[in-house]
Structure 1
Amino acid sequence: MTDIQRIDQNQRRSRGIVHNGLVFLAGQTANDLSGDIRQQAREAFAKVDDMLAQAGSDKTRVLSVTIWLGDMADYDGFNEVWDGWIVKGESPTRACAKVAMHDPRVRVELIVTAAQ
């Protein structure tokens, strides 16, 4: 049986799970919800980077990213930050959709799967 590593777990959820060489991250959002899409995306990616490091991985090992935007008008601004975050030649698969967020100030949420 393979061990399951749970990262930042509480009663309701784990922010990350490592199992069988894969890393699954819960939705990562900015803490400061007053910023524009670029600021929120940079902060969410920083949290992804931190969680991946805790799991023994990094952004070059990302396999897939699901991107939830509160408003598709933020798509181009998000992509500016995305293009600066991904490593050339290491781009993951991705999907992007407009979602009604739990808090309307949340502009982006990232759900990531990576290899360890």
Structure 2
Amino acid sequence: MQALSKSNYSEYRVADAFNGIILKSITSYDGKKREQLKSFFLDMQQGGCVSGMISEFIYHADCKEFYIEHIDDLENIRTELEEAIGEAIENRFQAPHYTFVCWLCFEEYCYDLYSRLFE
């Protein structure tokens, strides 16, 4: 889906993994691809990864494996975000660091795409 290439983060290899998760996740939504994508992004903004809506990021062990595979990209995205807002981002759910970073980066990736495609 070409729309997913419009992300600010598309230069990161982790973007391919995120796109795969998004494409798998939107199949449970009604409508054409664009409508499915918008509904998915709106749900993501409401509940976030902590809601359990992303099966790849429910279990800490899965997050840890994903984090280790994509550690440089994920930490670079986190650093970019913190520099953009001028402060550290709080791990408010007290999740393990690797889970927190996976959730943070995936949610930011989705928000970035939503704002580029639908706002």
Tell me, yes or no, whether TM beats 0.5: no
Larger proportion of strand = 1
TM-score, L = length of structure 1: 0.29
TM-score, L = length of structure 2: 0.29
